[in-house]
Chains A and B, each alone.
Chain A
Amino acid sequence: MTRAPENRDAFSVLDRPNSYIGKTVPRPNLDRLMQGRGQYVSDIELPRMAHVVFLRSPHAHARITGIDGAAAKRMPGVIAVVTGQEIAAVITPWVGVLSHLKGLKSAPQSAIAVDRVCWQGEAVAAIIATSRAAAEDAAEHVAVAYEELDAVTDMQTALDPTTSVIHPALGDNLAFERNHDAGTVDAAFAASDEVVEAEFIFGRHTGVTLEPRSVVADWNAAEARLTIYQGTQAPHMVQNIAALHLGLQESQVRVVCKDVGGSFGIKVHIYADEMATYALSKLLRRPVKFVADRVESFNTDIHARDHRCKGKIGVKRDGTITAFEIDDLTGIGPYSMYPRTSAIEANQVVNLVGGPYATKNYRARARVVFQNKNVMCQYRAVGHPIACSVTESLVDLAAMKIGMDPVEIRRRNLIADDAYPCASPSGLRFEQLSHHAALAKLIKMMDYDALRAEQATLRARNIHRGIGIASFIEVTNPSAAFYGVGGAKISSQDGVALRLDAQGAVVCQTSITEQGQGSESLTAQIVGSVLGVSMDRVRVILGDTDNTPYGGGTWASRGAGIGGEAALQATKVLRRNILDVAAAILQSTPGELDIINNSVVNVSDGAPRIELSELARIVYFRPDTLPPGIQAELMATRHFVPREYPFAFTNGVQASWLEVDTDTGFVKLLKHWVVEDCGTIINPQLVDEQIRGGVVQGLGAALFEKCVYDERGQLTNANMADYLVPMSGEMPDIDVGHVVSPTLESELGAKGAGEAGTAGAAAAVTNAVNDALRPFRTIVTEIPLTPQIILTALGRI
């Protein structure tokens, strides 16, 4: 349902008095977290709770020929040692495929490996003891005999006929392939004045959440009910899958998700060790806790990226881009991850390349292959950094080739701001984007011309600075098109239930979840604004399948846009219900009344008529005084899902200003700018910090983060000393600006903002490094951009 803005309800949240919308208000959960009263899964202690440690494979690929847990079972504090075969009695294996990703295949994966391990880090046995330390001691005494098998590690040779096939039943190591051909690509290249090609390499990296993955599973045999306390982004998804594989009804599984120390997409998947923990609780009939340690986090939290992508662009001398072509290859580990699958990232790359630009000529191939490395799957800004880096590097290379300024070539090719609605060459539908407005704002914020002048002056003094620009689009507010149509039980709708309590405060239950984004805050802001009560009167409850409406949770930048709209609509109903009762009490009509500042007031003169606390008192304790036939309903529920557009695309542009030390290959980031358009901004500070955090993760990928595997499939830097996360010392100031094009699909008009920063940061940095290296006539196309890579490109080593 699309509404023109002028037809909006008189209650439009955007123009109500005392609205919190568009204001920076502190998060309601700040005090709790700052005073150490947060409740993370690792804080949970239950009676008779045991701790599980997983013994993990030291080999990338091996047959398990024997497991001897006898000595370990005799160790102090040990409750059980459980193998894959034993746990299979209570939990079934799964296959991570979705029907709308045609041809995607994968093999059955078990909670604990049975007979064979397929990556270094896969669990081979569970040791359950009275403490984590006791379980770790015992794990050293479990003897596992392995027979090593050939490990498939290089994605470039994974499809060679001479390479062994990881899952023989699948026939080959190809998990998924997608081909796309739009427009007239060959003719367009033929008609181009210049055609530029390059190969781009993206390192494997991971999310590194501050709090590792953790779960406490508590099977209550008396109730025949499993309670799962877990730091997850999608409680209802976990409920569905745990029930499915443990042979339970969903009503027998409750998932509770209190505070979560960061997710970034890492915690939206179903991991084998978490499934094993649920199963162990059922098997042992007691609560079992699993908290991943840092080493196993590196070895088992999903990895992401790891692409090699060949790209080609055609351009005319006047700057017109004629066509894009890509050939992308990615390796995903031995299994497609469950239930979202590991084909989504490559699929997104195909979807997004060339997305900001007007050309309709686009050809793409993406291949996804199996390897004996840790599983790969969706992490913040799935596919976006790859697509954005490939696209934006190609655009810069084309500009360089024809001698055009990088800003100018973008001005000539970005889809015009008045061309919407329209579709991308890969068929994505855009409702309203603002590439040109965003670029214009960015140029102004960074004072582009002055920077160019400074760059020239410094270059004469042998100081090499570069400017990199990257326009991007971002997928947000996904509808059922993302997963639901493929058969996954992952809800794309969200719900909010509100009720007025007996003192006129509001209890709000929402199905979106909070991992630090500010879901709690934005929900309270919307409810408070639309209802007319102060935020401190709104208590938001989330993360509990027993106590919230059914919904998707928080991922794919959907919390504000989808959960926020559900909150808005539910609040409108509650408000109407309140005004109906108020009218009856006050012998007025609902139309003459409004709620402002916790009181019912006259619309005409704003005079207070009755406080909400008084209204609630009457409704709950003296309903006998209400006129006959009036039954108050001070509870309201609404759900929302986008129907018209499969995704609410957002857009933006980033710029990086940096210096390359051409003697050492070190890059110093000097400044970063982002202009983004997420539609209605509910809380500017939350949006800005989402953007900054996202940028920092993108800068990590650009310069630092990489999971380094050796040729035998051993992850060689699984610790915080050798895996370099971006730290504040190296981060530049990040200025954030906004253009606002609300989506008309919802009354709120909010799109997502969670992944925009990550989408374009690496592309901006790579372009800036190449801009700095211009006098040396060399380019780099591999991230992370290490000093080693830059020195090599410069021919210094």
Chain B
Amino acid sequence: MTDILSDTEARKHRDARSALFERAGGLRNVPLAVGLILPLSLALVWELAVAAGLSSGRLLPPPSVIIQTLGALWGQGDLSGHALTTLWRVLVGFGLGVAAGTIAGAITGYSRGIARVLDPTVQALRAIPSIAWVPLFILWFGIFELSKITLIATGVFFPVYLGTMDAIRSVDRKVVEVGLVHRLSSPAMIGRIMLPAILPAYVTALRSGLGLGWMFVVAAEFMGASRGLGYLLIDGQQLGKPAQIVAAIITFAVLGKLTDSILVAVTRPLLRWEDRFGQRADSRAAANRQEVA
């Protein structure tokens, strides 16, 4: 967040950071494609090993078979159908979770009083591994869309709630005073000071929420679905089709990455002002948070 330090201190930080930045510059110039070397080589080795008869490739099919399967699934219009179903579930669950998490987090962030009433309960609920809700959600909402979306929204809710509450609480009092001396009305204070100040932390919270949404959609689709990528996973397991499983996993990865990138791209213009070490540190932090969650 905006650390408003004393002036010289702030400058010292800036200098230290730009020095770090320059040192990392060597790495920054490496083309992005180098990240592909390792997975592509592994895939190639596996392909050759199966071709040479060193392995049957029955449990883990070689890349060529997976690509064929992906192609076949796509050709039948199956893959896009399943992927769209899953994507739709994630987006609806994400939307609901974000709305609920933002509202609840905004209220507890603003009001210590309400936080004292509400937050302990939310924290207690958060301690429950969300998958443990599955049986209850099925009893309450049936095995169709409602229970799935509720589960996904539950997963998305917590990081968004926590992120919003923390972000609001950690807005620098000094920045708020700038708003006060300019006599901002409450709506203007929210719009012109609070919202921009919390935006970076909020976007991070949204990204964590989205990551959890993708995790929970798998659990949701395991609880009896007839469509969706999770269904493809179960179906592949029951019918002994590992290529289909891997194809579904790859589609998950692509969609997860794609939606995250879209979220980042949409919010980037709003965060141009940030003074940060770099995107690299960003995504690492986001990834760590996801693991923790």
| B partners with A | no
